[in-house]
Amino acid sequence: MEIKTFGVVGAGQMGNGIAQVAAMSGLNVIMNDIKEEFVQRGLANITKLLGKSVEKGKMDAAEKDAVIARIRTSVSLKDMADADFVVEAATENETLKFNIFKELDDVCKPHVILSSNTSSIPIGRIAAQTRRPDKVIGMHFMNPVPVMRLVEVIRGLATSEETFKTTWDLSVKFGKTPAEANDFPGFIANRILLPMINEAVYCLYHHVGTPEAIDTVMKLGMNHPMGPLALADLIGLDTCLAIMETLYNGFKDSKYRPCPLLRKYVEAGWLGRKTGRGFYVYE
- Which residues are identified as catalytic? 119, 140, 152, 190
Q: Is 92 annotated as a binding residue?
A: yes
Spatial distance between the Cα atoms of 283 and 272, rounded to a whole number of angstroms: 11
The residues that bridge with 86 in the sheet, in sequence order, are 7, 114
Q: Is 115 annotated as a binding residue?
A: no
Burial of 246 (0-12, 13-18, 19+ CB in 10 A): buried
* Phi–psi pair at 204, nearest 5 degrees: -70, -45
Q: Is 200 annotated as a binding residue?
A: no
- CB contact set of 226 (below 8 Å; sequence gap of 6+): 215, 219, 234
Q: Is 35 annotated as a binding residue?
A: no
DSSP H/E element including 152: strand 150-155
Q: Is 63 annotated as a binding residue?
A: no
- CB contact set of 95 (below 8 Å; sequence gap of 6+): none
Q: Is 12 annotated as a binding residue?
A: yes
Q: Is 242 annotated as a binding residue?
A: no
- CB contact set of 231 (below 8 Å; sequence gap of 6+): 197
Q: Is 274 annotated as a binding residue?
A: yes
- CB contact set of 229 (below 8 Å; sequence gap of 6+): 197, 200, 201, 204, 211, 214, 215, 278, 279, 280
* Phi–psi pair at 27, nearest 5 degrees: -80, 150
Q: Is 129 annotated as a binding residue?
A: no
Q: Is 102 annotated as a binding residue?
A: no
DSSP, collapsed to helix, strand or coil, labels residue 39 as: helix
Q: Annotated binding site for NAD(+): which residue ranges?
A: 10-15, 33, 92, 97, 119, 143, 274
Q: Annotated binding site: which residue ranges?
A: 10-15, 33, 92, 97, 119, 143, 274
